[in-house]
C-alpha cells in the first residue's frame, strides 16, 4: 500500500498523472496605456491581445488597462526597466527621457506622412532605435501609430506663425518638443497627460497639442475654442516590454509577441488612417477648426532645433529622412 501511494505521488510530481480535463497554466501579462477605452490605443491593444491568445493557443493572456489605470506612462516605463511592469504602449516623447535618441522622432516636420513613418520605423531606422532601447532594458515589440499632432487653444486660431506667439501650451515632458515650441514663439508648459483637461478648464494653460483622436476622446473640445491643423509633429507609439520579463518567457512565446507586435504596427496605422477623417468631421461640429495654409515659416523657425540635434544624432535623422518617398 505504501509503495502504491509513493508511486502515485511520484507520478503527480513528475506531471505524468493528468486529469482528463486538466487546464494548462497561462502566462498572464499586463499591458497599460494612457488612452481612453474608446481610443484607437485600446482597440489596437485588444486586437493584439486576441491575436496573441490565438497564436499561443490560449497559453498567453494579455490583460489591458487603459486610462493610466496601472500608472502614468513614465512610471510604467520605469517599471519595465526593472521588471515590475510587463508591457506599456507609450510614446516616443516619454521614451526619450530614458533613451535619448527617441527624441529625434519628435523633431518637427520630420515625417512627410504615415507611409513615410511605416517605411522608416519598420525598416533600418526602427532597428537603430530598437537597439538603443535594448541597452536601457526595454524590448520594442512594434512601432504603433498615433498620428500627427495639431494645436488647440482658447485664445485664437493658428493661421500663421505669429499666432503661436505667447500661447501657453501644454506639452509632454520631452526636450525636443519643448525646444521646438520655444523656437515657434509659444510658451511650452510640460505636464502629464492626465492633467490636461483640468489645466485647460482652469486656464492654467491656453491650449495643448495632440493628435485628433485625443481631442475627441478626452473631450478637450469642451474647454477649448479653436483647433488648428498644424501637423507640426508625428508621434510614434512603441509597444514596449520589460526586457527582464521578456527574457523570462519561453523562446516560442517571445517569437509570438515579436511577430504579433510588429504585425499590429500595420493594424494600428490603418486604424488611425481610417478613423481620422470621421473624427475630424465630428470635431468640426464641436469646435472652430482650420488648417494652416502656409507651413514653410514654421519649418524655417525650427531649423536651429535640427542643428542642435544633428551634433549627436545626424545618422538617425538621415536614416529616417532617407526612408521618405523620393
Task: Provide the pLDDT for residue 79.
Answer: 98
Show the beta-strand stretches assigned E in the chain.
27-32, 60-65, 87-89, 138-153, 168-171, 187-190, 207-210, 226-242, 288-291
Q: How many CB atoms lie within 10 A of CB 109?
A: 18
Q: Summarize the confidence of residues 192-197 as an average pLDDT.
A: 94
Task: Provide the pLDDT for residue 325.
Answer: 82
Domain ranges of the chain: 28-321
- Residues facing residue 290 across a β-bridge: 228
Task: Provide the pLDDT for residue 23.
Answer: 53
Q: Return d(Cα 166, Cα 172) in angstroms, integer.
A: 18
Indicate whether 12 pLDDT > 80.
no
Task: Provide the pLDDT for residue 2.
Answer: 46
Q: Summarize the confidence of residues 70-86 as an average pLDDT.
A: 97
In a 3-state reduction of DSSP, which class is residue 201?
helix
- Mean of all residue pLDDT scores within the chain: 92
- Residues facing residue 207 across a β-bridge: 153, 169
Q: Return d(Cα 290, Cα 226) in angstroms, integer.
A: 8
Q: What tens digit of pLDDT does each residue of 204-249 get? A: 999 999 999 999 999 999 999 999 999 999 999 999 999 999 999 9
Q: What tens digit of pLDDT does each residue of 128-165 get? A: 999 999 999 999 999 999 999 999 999 999 999 999 99
pTM above 0.75, yes or no: yes
What percent of the chain has a predicted confidence (pLDDT) above 90? Answer: 90
What percent of the chain has a predicted confidence (pLDDT) above 70? Answer: 92
Task: State the cell numbers at 272.
Answer: 488611425
Cβ-contact 200, 222 below 8 angstroms: no
Cβ-contact 167, 206 below 8 angstroms: yes
Taking CA 26 as the corner, what is the angle to CA 25 and CA 31, rounded to the nearest 5 degrees?
A: 160
Q: Provide, for the chain, the percentages of residues in helix, strand and coil under a 3-state DSSP scheme, each rounded to the nearest 5.
A: 50, 20, 30
Q: Summarize the confidence of residues 111-120 as an average pLDDT.
A: 96
Q: Summarize the confidence of residues 16-24 as an average pLDDT.
A: 46
Three-class secondary structure assignment of 10-22: HHHHCCCCCCCCC
CATH class of the domain whose range is 28-321: alpha beta
Q: How many CB atoms lie within 10 A of CB 10?
A: 11
Q: Return d(Cα 313, Cα 100) in angstroms, integer.
A: 10
Indicate whether 321 pLDDT > 80.
yes
Task: Provide the pLDDT for residue 326.
Answer: 64
What is the DSSP secondary-structure string of 266-277? HHHHHHHHHHHH
Q: Return d(Cα 52, Cα 88) in angstroms, integer.
A: 16
Q: Return d(Cα 281, Cα 270) in angstroms, integer.
A: 18
Task: Provide the pLDDT for residue 24.
Answer: 60
Amino acid at each position: 500500500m505504501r509503495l502504491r501511494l509513493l508511486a502515485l505521488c511520484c507520478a503527480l510530481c513528475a506531471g505524468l498523472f493528468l486529469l482528463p480535463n486538466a487546464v494548462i497554466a497561462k502566462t498572464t501579462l499586463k499591458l497599460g496605456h494612457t488612452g481612453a477605452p474608446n481610443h484607437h490605443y485600446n482597440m489596437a491593444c485588444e486586437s493584439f491581445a486576441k491575436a496573441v491568445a490565438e497564436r499561443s493557443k490560449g497559453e498567453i493572456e494579455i490583460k489591458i488597462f487603459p486610462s493610466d489605470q496601472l500608472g502614468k506612462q513614465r512610471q510604467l516605463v520605469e517599471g519595465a526597466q526593472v521588471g515590475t511592469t510587463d508591457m506599456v504602449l507609450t510614446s516616443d516623447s516619454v521614451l526619450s527621457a530614458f533613451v535619448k535618441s527617441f527624441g529625434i522622432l519628435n523633431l518637427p516636420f520630420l515625417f512627410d506622412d504615415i507611409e513615410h513613418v511605416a517605411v522608416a520605423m519598420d525598416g533600418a531606422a526602427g532597428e537603430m532605435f530598437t537597439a538603443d532601447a535594448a541597452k536601457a532594458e526595454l524590448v520594442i515589440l512594434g512601432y504603433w501609430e498615433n498620428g500627427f499632432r495639431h494645436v488647440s487653444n482658447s485664445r485664437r486660431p493658428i493661421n500663421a506663425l505669429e499666432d503661436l506667439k505667447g500661447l501657453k501650451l501644454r506639452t509632454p515632458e520631452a526636450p525636443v518638443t519643448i525646444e521646438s515650441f520655444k523656437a515657434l514663439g509659444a510658451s511650452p508648459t510640460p505636464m502629464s497627460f492626465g492633467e490636461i483637461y483640468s489645466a485647460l478648464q482652469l486656464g492654467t494653460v491656453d491650449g495643448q497639442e495632440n493628435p485628433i483622436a485625443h481631442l475627441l476622446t478626452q473631450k478637450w473640445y469642451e474647454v477649448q475654442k479653436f483647433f488648428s491643423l498644424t501637423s507640426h509633429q508625428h508621434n510614434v507609439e512603441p509597444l514596449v516590454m520589460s526586457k527582464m520579463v521578456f527574457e523570462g518567457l519561453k523562446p516560442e512565446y517571445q517569437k509570438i509577441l515579436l511577430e504579433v507586435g510588429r504585425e499590429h504596427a500595420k493594424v494600428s496605422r490603418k486604424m488611425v488612417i481610417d478613423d481620422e477623417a470621421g473624427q475630424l468631421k465630428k470635431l468640426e461640429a464641436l469646435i472652430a477648426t482650420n488648417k494652416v495654409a502656409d507651413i514653410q515659416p514654421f519649418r524655417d523657425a525650427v531649423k536651429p532645433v535640427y542643428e542642435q540635434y544633428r551634433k549627436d544624432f545626424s545618422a538617425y535623422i538621415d536614416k529616417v529622412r532617407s526612408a521618405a518617398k523620393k
